[in-house]
Amino acid sequence: MNQSIDDIDQRMILNIEYLAQNLQPMTLPVFIRNMHITRSKDETQEFTYNADLIRYGSKFIEQWYQIYRTETQKYNVPKRQLLPKRPQPMPKQEIQEQRILTNPYRTKSKYASQNLIQDYQLKPLRRLQRPYFSPKSGSYEI
């Protein structure tokens, strides 16, 4: 007899952990149905009404349900906590700086960053009055 109570308790604990991890939180009648304690709807209703009086294994059904509720709180974090928090509004100055960095060609700002070519050579081209690009490959002369 004691062996069967221990087996029932172990089976209940495994079922509770499985249900807590894989399903949404459920009410007492649904819990009783999913634990396969009863065979019919009438028995399920009777077990629901007398959950604090009916012993299953070493504990009352109400105690098993409370264990299940604590397990679901561990595994099922509320969806609001999973969602990212709303971003804080950025100050206008940071928004302008970000625009400058992301799109330097379309800004009329004085602070727009200039793209510098690393291997350029400066030449005095007073007579041309315009930038000049050398025909040599790899050489840029402005």
Tokens encoding 3: 């062996």
Crossing angle between the packed helical segments 2-22 and 61-75, to the nearest 10 degrees = 30
pTM comes to 0.50
Strands 120-121 and 140-141: parallel
Reported as a single tens digit per residue, the pLDDT across 27-82 is 888 888 888 877 788 888 888 888 888 888 888 888 888 888 888 888 776 666 55
CB-count burial class (<10 Å; 0-12, 13-18, 19+) for 117: exposed
